[in-house]
Structure 1
């Protein structure tokens, strides 16, 4: 444990979470245009739609109250009359994409995120998905998933989405301690989580996930272990065990409801993860990528074992698609060759659609170097190793990267071989730091201001 503490002190620095490479602060927006986005998307779609299908992420941004730990783009409101106009807007956006793509999209994945997807009524969610599928085919093997808030997910929500083909649901739990819940403005009793988990099982959902967070304000080690103990009683198929990103200088007043001193840091925060991880492994969960765990029977665990695990703006996924289209306010799309983000403000999103425009406002077209580095970072995030035995995986700065990684090898975080590197068990908590060694954009332009959360 003493060695781990010294490594934490050494490597706990601000760094990206690598849901993309290049990371958003390093997108070259000046050379990006909506026309380029359409061009690269059409190219990628034509290459891959019939062979592997596409993924859809649909952002449903409304929340009835603000959770202060949340880093997502949302709109806090209790006005449910906003549901129908938003659904009509998303369906119009989808129609614009279908007209651009011409061939019928083959949908392999749909994920409803937020915000709070279960803010929307079952009838409106049915209208949304029916509208999407009316212009698409469903792949032979597919996964439809959504994020459910335990306080407002009803049995009717679960049944309606199940009838539409959804088989995976993720519930945000965070922590069961009342003092922690009060600080993050998410009062949510265990009984609510138990109820919606049991409903999902009774209806027939095959993968149920719980999201837990460590490092929250006022959270102690015993709180984390107690939350995991209560989670064990429900045995979800998957678990995300996230590090709380304390970035009040970015998120503003939402993370100013408590003092910086109230947030666990460094050694204490990492102990929460390490002790929590021990409990999860003892319960039969397997560690999958970064901050994720799954039972051996779950598709995520199988994908990790087979080396087919993938990571994109939706997080980890059991299968890869070259194209991911994001629908809705602030959604990010990925054509593999480029990224594109929608308007962040609801009014701007609506205004662009009223002009019959795909509501993209910024993005990045990946260079050949970007594509190579992206592959290495994906390998590290999804497999804990990467190699450069093929010419396309080699890049000019690789010798300098390996020189930087040599110190991490001395610290026992990885092993460097002639054509590959392998992250060690001790190095898994530091995978973001290892990825940073490959991040040429970060090296060439160190941020003047702090824009990233701490890596540990």
Structure 2
């Protein structure tokens, strides 16, 4: 395994979309084309499966040096009301283009720090979206919370609005690691907010952990997992730290690269954490996720309904996901669109009556087929091209690229299908890269992606 890690630990996408963002085609994209795709997807799927909303709440009071999200650092809470009002206006701009009453299946509040916002602001936002909409019978509303500033009032307010899942960003409990990543929070704070959530009635509490952080050791990972066992969250994201300072600038330069675990050491941290989580009773889901058998993410895996998008793994899928807020990405299945990346520009465009999209990609027929293959591999660890509609022109080249991976016993491949071996999950991104014809046709000349392992 050690030699394979050294062989395959190369820069590669995480495949929360296909094509990946660096390979979006600006020459064929326009806001008009995006809105046409949006309307098509809405009319095809709204009544049958509903739509999803991702709402980006970008404000944070301090900068975490591991974070690769689009955020705005401020302690000035007077920014809350103008931003919430702009989100509501953006939703209204989309509502004007809908020919039916929207059926809301999913809402996810991401960030940034959603719990930066006061309860009354969050309540105004959600009520404004739900007014004139319908909730899908199987709706799931979720949000991300910071253990240091999530209040019981916020948890109760969102629960009363229909939120039943909350994810708390933990990362690591070791004080040296916390200091290096500027994310200092006590186990007691995490224990308190987890306890509140369960007492209030949340059915899924998730903890986000990261391996590969500066100064992490087997001892610190062990301590973090033992503390996690005490609280037993329903779901765990155990992410690989993506070190991309050339993309995110000063935030990820808050420590020296020499303090990061090397590739073999980093993978050993994951394998240790994975074994401990498995011993506790968690099941590995897709890539870097774990869930108890009672959680919807595990149930989605067993029923083959697991999905992956810009929010990571989800327990269900909607064809249309509308991204609201600064930098938010929308997905109509046929196309992607991203909003402008600064709060100032976002508010100016929306308040001028414009949907604030500044770039995107309209998927070609080839893109759509490859997207299905990559989703199959990322979610179900297998794919096949038995049906004619799963063929694409470069498929023989992809199969050729997979032969070396097969020779390393990481996949089983025949004339019509591919299956990923259990022990090959660390290499899942490498396997997907063989299908990524846009990446194969134009190798990046500069650093674009984090390391795959």
Preserved CA contact (<8 Å) 2:177 2:213: yes
**Partner in structure 1 of residue 138 of structure 2:** 141
SS at match of 1:72: coil
**Counterpart Cα distance in 2 of 1:330 and 1:135:** 26
- Tell me which residue corresponds to 2:303: 306
Q: 1:119 aligns with which of 116, 120, 128?
A: 116
* Matched ranges for 1:287-366 at <5 A: 287-366=284-363
For residue 34 of structure 2, what is the aligned residue in structure 1? 37
Alignment of 1:378-397 (within 5 A): 378-397=375-394
SS in 2 for 1:151: coil
Partner of 2:397: 400
- C-alpha displacement at 1:354, in angstroms? 2.1
The alpha carbon displacement at 1:383 in A equals: 0.4
Work out whether residues 51 and 104 of structure 2, in 8 Å CA contact, stay in contact via their aligned partners in 1.
yes
> Counterparts of 2:86 and 2:313 in 1: how far apart (Å)?
28
Q: Does 1:61 find its partner at 2:58?
A: yes
Q: Does structure 2 retain, via aligned residues, the 8 Å contact 1:412–1:426?
A: no
- Superposed displacement of residue 102, structure 1: 2.6
| 1:168-225: CA deviation from partner (whole Å, max 9, x where unpaired) | 0000000000000000000011000000000000000000000000000111111111
**TM-score (normalised: structure 2):** 0.99
**Aligned counterparts, 1:162-241, within 5 A:** 162-241=159-238
Superposition pairs for residues 4-23 of structure 1, below 5 Å? 4-23=1-20
The Cα offsets for residues 144-170 of structure 1, whole Å up to 9 and x where unpaired, read as 000000000000010000000000000
Say whether residues 1:273 and 2:265 are aligned partners: no
**1:358-415 per-position Cα deviation (integer Å, ceiling 9, x unaligned):** 0000000000000000000000010011111111111121111111111111111110
Where does structure 2 lack aligned partners over 5 or more consecutive residues?
none
In the alignment, what sits opposite 1:128?
Answer: 125
State how far apart, in whole Å, the 2-side matches of 1:364 and 1:309 are.
24
1:70 match: 67
Q: Helix, strand or coil for the counterpart of 1:372?
A: helix
CA distance in structure 1 between the partners assigned to 2:210 and 2:413 by the alignment: 32
TM-score by length of 1: 0.99
Query: Number of matched residues?
Result: 453
Q: Which runs of 5+ in 1 are unaligned?
A: none
The DSSP-based 3-state class of the residue aligned with 1:196 is: helix
- Cα distance in 1, alignment partners of residues 246 and 25 from structure 2: 23
Q: Secondary structure at the match of 1:374?
A: helix
Over residues 319-378 of structure 1, what are the superposed CA-to-partner deviations in whole Å (9 max), with x where a residue is unaligned? 110000000000000000000000101111011112201000000000000000000000
Residue 316 of structure 1 aligns to a residue whose secondary structure is strand
* Shift in Å, 1:234: 0.4
1:81 to 69, 78, 82: 78
Return the alpha-carbon distance in structure 1 between the equivalents of residues 45 and 295 of structure 2: 26
